[in-house]
DNA sequence: AAAACTGCGGCAG
DNA sequence: CTGCCGCAGTTTT
């Protein structure tokens, strides 16, 4: 059987250092911007340890493999300067998840840029009408934030709900605000 | 197998 | 508004 090769990138966005990990099936982890690069490295290492991943190669901007992911890196950078970016073509690896989790993540992924939905809406749409609390559990452990836009999932009463990324709820609000402002801007080519 | 744990919701005060 | 249960899937005992 073929050995699974993991690749990672860490790069600077206008909101700080971000990164991701991918294997042949697609994206596995994404790390939202932090001020210190070391914190992204730490977060990355932690995730690799938790999942017993050892063979991993840098695809940072010096690497010749960089071009494989340059589009994604550019899109992520674009997102944080307020461009309306579409990540729907981005290949994800969700193999590690239960059917319930996969279903929830797929529903969340389709929430459009600049819009929000409630945990309850997600549960209903996924076909688990009363599992809205379990949806929160899935969001908490979402390894691919932004691409799976868990920041667009808020409470039914309009409050923000929680967020596990760096800076917690403040970052969630900042991303929602960014999208709200940017979605109506005239599209620049 | 049971209990504990949530990024929730709805309702009672 | 706050507090308190019920809720369902996952994780931990």
Each residue's pLDDT, cut to its tens digit, for chain A (189 residues) gives 556 788 999 999 999 999 999 998 999 999 999 999 999 999 999 999 888 888 888 776 656 666 678 999 999 999 999 999 999 999 999 999 999 999 999 999 999 999 999 999 999 999 999 999 999 999 999 999 999 999 999 999 999 999 999 999 999 999 999 999 998 877 666
User: Stated in angstroms, how far is A112 CA from B11 C1'?
Assistant: 32
Catalytic residues of A: 150
CB atoms within 10 A of CB A173: 15
User: Stated in angstroms, how far is A78 CA from C13 C1'?
Assistant: 46
pLDDT in tens, A134-179: 999 999 999 999 999 999 999 999 999 999 999 999 999 999 999 9
Positions of chain C reached by protein Cβ under 7 A: 6-11
Task: Name the residue closest to C11, CA to C1'.
Answer: A137
User: Stated in angstroms, how far is A56 CA from C10 C1'?
Assistant: 29
Residue labelled with tokens 């307020």: A82
Res A74: pLDDT? 96
Positions of chain B reached by protein Cβ under 7 A: 5-10
pLDDT in tens, A113-122: 999 999 999 9
Give the nucleotide nearest to A104 (CA→C1'). C9
Token pair for residue A161? 């709900």
Give the nucleotide nearest to A99 (CA→C1'). C9
Q: Kindly report the CA angle at A6 between A107 and A163, in degrees rounded to 5?
A: 40
Give the nucleotide nearest to A136 (CA→C1'). B7
Give percent of chain A with pLDDT exceeding 70: 93
Residue A167, phi-psi category: left (phi > 0), alpha (psi -120 to 50), beta (remainder)? left
Res A55: pLDDT? 81
* Rg of chain A taking only CA atoms, in angstroms: 16
- Mean pLDDT score across all residues of chain A: 92
C-alpha distances in Å from residue A59, one per residue of A44, A161, A175, A188: 14, 35, 26, 29
User: Stated in angstroms, how far is A125 CA from C13 C1'?
Assistant: 34
Residues 6+ apart with CB under 8 A from A50: none
CA A119 – CA A115 distance, rounded (Å): 13
């Amino acid at each position: 059987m073929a050995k699974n090769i993991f690749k990672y990138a860490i790069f600077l966005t206008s909101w700080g250092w971000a990164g991701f990990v991918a294997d042949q099936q697609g994206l596995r982890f994404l790390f939202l911007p932090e001020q210190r690069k070391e914190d992204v490295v730490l977060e990355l290492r932690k995730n690799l340890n938790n999942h017993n991943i050892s063979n991993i190669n840098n695809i940072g901007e010096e690497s010749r493999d960089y071009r494989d992911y340059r589009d994604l890196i550019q899109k992520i950078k674009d997102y944080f300067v307020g461009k309306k970016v579409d990540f729907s073509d981005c290949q994800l690896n969700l193999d590690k998840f239960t059917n319930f989790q996969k279903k929830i993540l797929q529903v969340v992924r389709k929430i459009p840029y600049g819009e929000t939905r409630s945990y309850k809406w997600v549960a209903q749409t996924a076909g688990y009408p009363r599992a809205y609390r379990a949806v929160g559990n899935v969001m908490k452990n979402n390894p691919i934030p932004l691409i799976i836009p868990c920041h667009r999932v808020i409470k039914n009463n309009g409050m923000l709900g929680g967020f596990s990324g760096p800076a917690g709820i403040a970052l969630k609000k900042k991303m929602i605000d960014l999208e709200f402002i940017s979605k109506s801007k005239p599209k620049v080519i």
